[in-house]
Amino acid sequence: MTRLKDAGTLLALFLGSAMISASAYAENPPANSAQSVASSAGQAVDSSLNKVGDFMDDSTITARVKAALIDDKNIRSSDISVKTENKVVTLSGSVDSAEQKDLAVNAAKTVKGVTTVHDQLNVGRREVC
C-alpha cells in the first residue's frame, strides 16, 4: 500500500512538472528564445567590431599622415603631433615657417581616409627651458 501511495505521489510530481514545462514552453519556445539570444549576441559583436574598425581606421590614418610628413623633406616633422578621431586629423606643435605649416596641412589632407584637418600648428620654435 505504501508503494502504491509513493508511486501516486511520484506520478503527481511528474505530471505537475510536465505541465509547468509545457506552459513555459508555450510562452517562450526555445527556438525563439535561442534566436533572440543569438540576435542580441550578434548585434553586440557587430557593435564591438565597428568600434575596433573605427579605432583601426584612425590609427592607420595617423600613421599615414606621420609618414607623409616625414617623407616631405621640406617639413620639419619632429615637432608636429598628429591625432586622429573619427577620420578628423588634428596637427599640433610647431614648425619653422608659414610655408611648412601649409605643407604639413596639405600633406595631411592628401592622405586617404582623412575627412578634415584641424590646424593647431604654431609658426616659430618654442624655447625650451
**pLDDT tens per residue across span 13-53:** 565 666 665 655 555 555 555 556 555 655 665 565 556 55
Q: What pLDDT, on the 0 to 100 scale, is given for residue 114?
A: 94
Q: Grid coordinates representing 2? A: 505504501
Whether residue 67 lies inside any domain: the answer is yes
Contact 121, 101 (CB under 8 A): yes
Q: Count CB-CB contacts under 10 A for residue 2.
A: 6
Whether residue 89 lies inside any domain: the answer is yes
As a whole number, mean pLDDT of residues 76-83 equals 93
- Structurally, the chain folds into a number of domains equal to 1
Q: What pLDDT, on the 0 to 100 scale, is given for residue 95?
A: 95
- The residues, ordered by sequence, that sit 6+ positions from 61 with a Cβ below 8 Å of its Cβ are 84, 87, 89, 111, 113, 114
As a whole number, mean pLDDT of residues 73-88 equals 93
Q: Grid coordinates representing 75? A: 617639413
Task: Please state, in angstroms and rounded to a whole number, the distance separating the CA atoms of residues 65 and 75.
Answer: 12
Whether residue 129 lies inside any domain: the answer is no
Whether residue 23 lies inside any domain: the answer is yes
The pLDDT confidence band at residue 122, using thresholds 50, 70 and 90, is very high
Residue range of the domain that includes 67 = 2-123
Backbone phi, psi, residue 14, to 5°: -65, -45
Task: Please state, in angstroms and rounded to a whole number, the distance separating the CA atoms of residues 98 and 85.
Answer: 25
Higher-pLDDT residue of 72, 15: 72
Q: What pLDDT, on the 0 to 100 scale, is given for residue 77?
A: 87
Whether residue 56 lies inside any domain: the answer is yes
